[in-house]
Structure 1
Amino acid sequence: MSFTKRRSGSFKGRSLPHYSSVVQEKYHGRTYPWFVPLAFVIPGRTTRRLRLWLPNPRRIHQFSVSRFGRKRGFVFMLLLFAVLVFAMFALAKRFATEEKTWPAFTGDPPTLVYRREDLQRIWTWEISSGHYPSRRRLPEQLWLKSVIDNPSLPPRRASLPARFRAPSGPSTTTTRGIGPRRTYLDIRSEPPHVAYPPRPVPGSVADLDIVMEHCDFSEKKYVRDCLEVLRLGGGLDNGKRLRRGKMDDWKYIYLEQLDGSNGTVASDVEDETPPLITGIARDSIDPDNGLIKKRGADWEVPPIALPEPRKYRSYQSLSSPCDPETPRIFHMFWTGPFTDKPYLALLSFLFTQNTGLHLHDYPTETAACRPKFWLWINPGPAAAVPNPSAMHDMFTELKATPWAAPFLHPRFKDIIQFKLWNTTEQLDGVPELANEWRTRESLFNSGGHVISVPQKKESDVTSASAGGENATDTSKADEDDLLNRTGSKSSTSYDRLSVILSDMARFILCHRFGGIYLDADTLFLRDWEELWGWKGAFAYRWSRLEKYNTAVLHLNKGSALGTFLFRTALKNDLDFHPMTVSRYLKEAHLEGLLLRLPDALFDSAWLNTEYFQWERPPQPFFTDFQDFFDTPLKISAAPHALGFDGFFKGAFSYHFHNYWWKPFDPARNWPDLGPQFIAGERVARASARAAARSTMTGEKPAETEEEEDTVEDDQRDLDWSTVLKRTFESYVRGERPNLYGEWLEW
């Protein structure tokens, strides 16, 4: 063996073995085989195992160390591993065709039950109906052979004749715009009327493609910057605009122009519409190649049946402000006693939306479409069947509940409606489910976790209804049972069944009636006019993950997308969990039809609560959702000083993620709506104060006269939840106008 002397006096070359302990010496002194057997369990055959011979890492490590030394041996192993990985990808690139796809080893079984031909029909129907007002590319995996006319997109100005443009490939990935041109608006309050922002222009539309450019977390966009674009482009920075210069790139709200009037129109950009595709012939290839079907299930037969595509009508072409094909209904689902949570959701709706309550008599002919709020009440436990008098009982209870009674006032009858939820009736009302949902094992499936609901014995029902000796005791004992919970009373007593039921209810309501669904832990922060104008379906992103959160969900009434979702869910045990719905759409290449908006629009605190974007957080800076209710001392000066105007300004809503048991206003935990509703307030005041005294003394307090409020009753620093509650209530009391400077007229 030869050695070469280093400059430092040491030798370089092949190093002698070095062991730090006797144990290591014994370990290295042993020779290991080049291959070792490994046994793998065969699915479905637990008694049989598949035996494979794989390279032995110990033998490779032993060889590299003895041959090159410890340090160089380690580097050799890394290089060898890199070469193997590169070789695998090179072979796959060389020999694989574009039709072949590698299965995704995510641990989740496939869910797909529709063939590629059906998926093409779904895309074609939605685009032709004007439900895809986007220039985002279509998935190549669809194998669309020709360009689809898109009535919700304006035509583009071609920069080159079609014969000089290279085809995009064997499948078309764009649509041909044939719709009205777009004029993008510069919305702002005009001096001297700058105290409040202007209402959105009736019929205006939010270009969500532009919103994605400024807000997409996947493109490393900050929530803080997204909210600034949203408020400036929406004119919410009334009289407070500090930015200077041209802001055309931040204009995301447009009007459709049937007469081709002047403005910043989308036809000023290069045409991307390719000619008809005549590329690679696919007739000799399996038409479903690349699609991974659900195991044990057959493809859906017959092929998906869809009605004629809807005729797209722009706002300017309607005979009345409201389009019957896209009703403006906000849906919300609630189970259990009516509390301050749906109360504040309804107040935020009145404070922000264009309900016309500032007009004594709402005009029959107006430029704006008046939105409605349907609050669906499930009167008992999620697994219970409503009794015949459920509707009467529901309204009787609402009238007796101080949190709910104010919304039964005749002033709100045209915009707020309470609806009785009946699971059987709703499922029978969905054509895609009506004939088959009863054959399923359970209706309560969340992410593959099925909760079985046993049927009650007739003797048990008779005994309970007759008021037997142990009926009351049994009722109390079972009240907190998973199957009998009505609402979430604490973090440890969570009504999981109602949450699972609501996962399904949102899709049913939007598919049957149209509109937008919102979770009951959601508060409105601005007018949604521009979102109603966007005819496409949407939900929003699950924080950092490329998954859906359906706490906000818009589906078009009776759409092809809805048909796909219900039939797919039916074949997957009626699982409507957002993560599972994400799989349905991803595996079918339909994600583009349910736009996954950034959570900055509806859930601006979420990324911060998961430790993202702390270096540049939005205002306010929440590190936990509980901060909304218990604002940390270091930022507790902001709520009272800034008020509603400083709370995620620009976002459309705020989602506080459960916390049903936390009161918005601990010091005044009752509806504070003024003399108009003083009777209910007195009842709620007495109940709240009695509960507080009982907690302090442990004894049932005696009835006392109504006490006079003092400022000392408040905590020194008001939390954000308290500020928002008192802001909305002061509007109903007539002490301030709403977000847009409109005073409530009684």
Structure 2
Amino acid sequence: MALFFRDHSCSAAVILITLVQIFYIIYSYTFIPPEELSEIKEIRPIRHIALKHRPLDGYVVNLTLINKYCEPELFDTDYFDTYNIQDCLDYLDERESEYLVKNPDSRIKCSPDSVPMLFHVYWRGRINEKIAFMIKSFLYTQPLDCALLNVWLDQNQENDFSQNSYIQPLLKFSPNNFRLRRWNLTEQLNYDPIYEGWEEKINRQIPTVGYSDLVRFVLLYRYGGMYVDADVLFLRDMRPIYHLNQEFAYRWSFWLNYNTAILRLNAKSTTSRAVVESAMEHKMNFHPFQIKYYLVKKRIVVKPDLDKHLYMMPTTLFDPLWLKVDLQLSNQVIKPNINDFYDAYKSSIVDNEFPDEKEATTSMRNKKEFFRGAFTYHWHNQWESSITENSWFGVLQRGYDEFINGQSPNMYNEYINEFHEEIF
């Protein structure tokens, strides 16, 4: 045995503690009234939820290993009857020690003195609950010593953001971890000769979604980093994919098209330049379905050709519910077991949400169990839906707020006062 008692007093103390414990057990069964015992028995045992640990500096994902579980071999609807979404999520959640590998670039460090991971999001109009929700998810998950989110505001007339109740509690994190920046189309496009003649080519009546397709490529061509749509929540530390020596977007559901809701590009890289130049030749059309044709000049495009230019990541890494929704895979049991993007807003329990429970209640929804393993969650434009208190999003919102206010830890068991105290 590794533990030895050095004297009799220590041994006596152990015996005394043991006797006290035995006495308490006897007392509990002898003196506690029956009605109190029945109340104790009715308490539901707390499910064990493993804590996450931040990845070490300089570790990145091995795409070959991840693809074995997360990238279906055949992309047709018949194959997806056997493709298991949860297997991919479980692998991402439980096997980090296997697929996280050391990046050869030893210069990658997370510290206040390092170059931060740079993220961008575009928002049109006044700051509301939804964009604040996205920013909170960033603060809750990312390493605050080396992460910065640029929130690009368009058609926003607010002069004093401290008067906006949604963003005011978050301003203590600005400008260290996020910055509110004004989007100016003229300044951005006049910055580089690559956009010459844009005034005659741009469609000024384009809807917000289409316009943001342009914004993301303009921003990443100039600044580099990662663009994230406003209807995306961060679920875990992004360093293992951000620091890949790889530019990427992810697959559009089961189709061979890019979804640029998550887009990683280096500033003025060969890939970003190729897309911008081709889009300029096509009346500034940056629609995701066009990107593959800008990169591969072939009529028939295959994934290996695309990966050479802009790697197409598996859908489930960033959009874990999409395949189930698109292919109506109601037989697939995932965690949480919801069937539609709107289900995350519902205050009532969804049918079969907790398959192993006879009487499920909303109290069983836990922020630590929301699509564990996935890097982000894309909720696909549910802008008119409200975040209700006991919904999955309500549970996440409460967790974010408690962390930001220093009342509870984040998903990595870190309290806000443990790091980055200068922001206060």
Pair in the same fold by TM > 0.5: yes
RMSD: 2.4
Deviation by residue 1:425-444 (Cα, 9 ceiling, x = unmatched) = 111224421x221232x335
The residue aligned with 1:401 is: 164
Distance of aligned partners of 1:655 and 1:352 in 2 relative to their CA distance in 1, 3 Å threshold: same
Question: 2:343, 2:350 within 8 Å by CA — same for their partners in 1?
Answer: no
How much does 1:204 deviate? Answer: 0.8
> Which residue of the partner structure matches residue 432 of structure 1?
194
Structure whose residues are more often helix by fraction: 2
Q: Which whole-Å deviations, capped at 9, do the CAs of 1:152-185 have from their partners, x for residues lacking one?
A: xxxxxxxxxxxxxxxxxxxxxxxxxxxxxxxxxx
Distance change >3 Å, CA 587–CA 395, structure 1 → 2? same
Is 1:340–2:129 an aligned residue pair? yes
Report Cα offsets for 1:472-494 as digits up to 9, x if no partner: xxxxxxxxxxxxxxxxxxxxxxx
Deviation at 1:355, TM superposition (A): 0.5
Tell me whether 1:645 sits opposite 2:368 in the alignment: yes
> Aligned pair in 2 of structure 1 residues 515, 573: CA closer, same or farther (>3 Å)?
same
Aligned counterpart for 1:315 among listed residues 106, 110, 116 = 106
Distance in 1, matches of 2:266 and 2:67, equals: 21
2: distance between equivalents of 1:406 and 1:645? 23
Q: Which moved more, 1:544-553 or 1:608-617?
A: 608-617
Secondary structure of the 2:331 match is coil
After superposition, what is the alpha-carbon deviation per residue over 1:343-377, rounded to whole angstroms, capped at 9, x for unaligned?
A: 11111111111114xxxxxxxxxxxxx01011000
Query: 2:32 maps to which residue?
Result: none
The aligned counterpart of 2:253 is 543
Q: Partner residue of 1:199?
A: 54
Given candidates 303, 327, 338, the residue that maps to 1:611 is 327
Secondary structure at the aligned position of 1:622 is classed as: coil
Alignment of 1:589-604 (within 5 A): 591-592=306-307, 593-604=309-320
* Structure 1 residue 229, shift from structure 2 partner: 0.9
- 2:149 maps to 373
SS in 1 for 2:165: coil
Q: TM-score, normalised by structure 2?
A: 0.77
How far is the alpha carbon of 1:613 from its aligned partner?
3.8
Q: State the distance in 1 between where 2:338 and 2:272 align.
A: 35
Cα distance between partner residues in 2 of 1:506 and 1:417: 16
User: Which residue does the alignment assign to 1:663?
Assistant: 386
Are the aligned partners of 1:373 and 1:415 in contact in 2 as well (CA < 8 Å)? yes
Deviation at 1:317, TM superposition (A): 7.8
For 1:612 and 1:587, the matched residues in 2 are separated by: 34
CA distance in 1, matches of 2:247, 2:361: 36
The correspondence of residues 26-65 of structure 1 with structure 2, limited to 5 A, is none
The residue type paired with residue 306 of structure 2 is E
Instruction: Note closer, same or farther for the CA distance 1:603–1:319 as it changes in structure 2 (3 Å cut).
Output: closer
- The aligned residue for residue 209 of structure 1 is 64
Q: Report deviation, 1:330.
A: 1.0
2:273 aligned with 1:513: no
Is the 2:233–2:378 Cα contact (8 Å) retained in structure 1? yes
Structure 1 residue 591: Cα displacement: 1.2
Larger radius of gyration: 1
Q: What residue is the counterpart of 2:90 in the other structure?
A: 228
Counterpart pick for 2:282 among 539, 550, 572: 572
- Deviation, 1:516, is 0.4
| Cross-structure match for 1:54 | none
CA deviation string 1:399-424 (max 9, x = no partner): 22101122222x44211111100011
Structure-2 separation of matches of 1:197 and 1:319? 18
Unaligned runs of 5+ in 1: 1-193, 236-250, 258-313, 357-369, 381-392, 445-452, 454-495, 668-717
Shift of 1:394: 3.7
Q: Structure 2: 5+ residue runs without aligned partners?
A: 1-48, 355-359, 418-423
Aligned to 2:27: none
Q: Distance in 1 between matches of 2:64 and 2:267?
A: 23
Query: C-alpha separation between the residues in 2 aligned to 1:351 and 1:639?
Result: 22
Match of 1:386 in 2: none
Q: How far is the alpha carbon of 1:198 from its aligned partner?
A: 1.6
- What's the counterpart of residue 25 of structure 2? none
2:344 to 624, 628, 638: 628
Per-residue CA distance 1:667-726 (angstroms, 9 max, x = gap): 5xxxxxxxxxxxxxxxxxxxxxxxxxxxxxxxxxxxxxxxxxxxxxxxxxx211111111
Residue 411 of structure 2 aligns to a residue in which SS?
coil
Contact 2:349/2:361 (CA < 8 Å) preserved in 1? no
**Deviation digits for residues 90-115 of structure 1 (CA, Å, limit 9, x no counterpart):** xxxxxxxxxxxxxxxxxxxxxxxxxx
CA contact (8 A) 1:609 1:622 kept: no
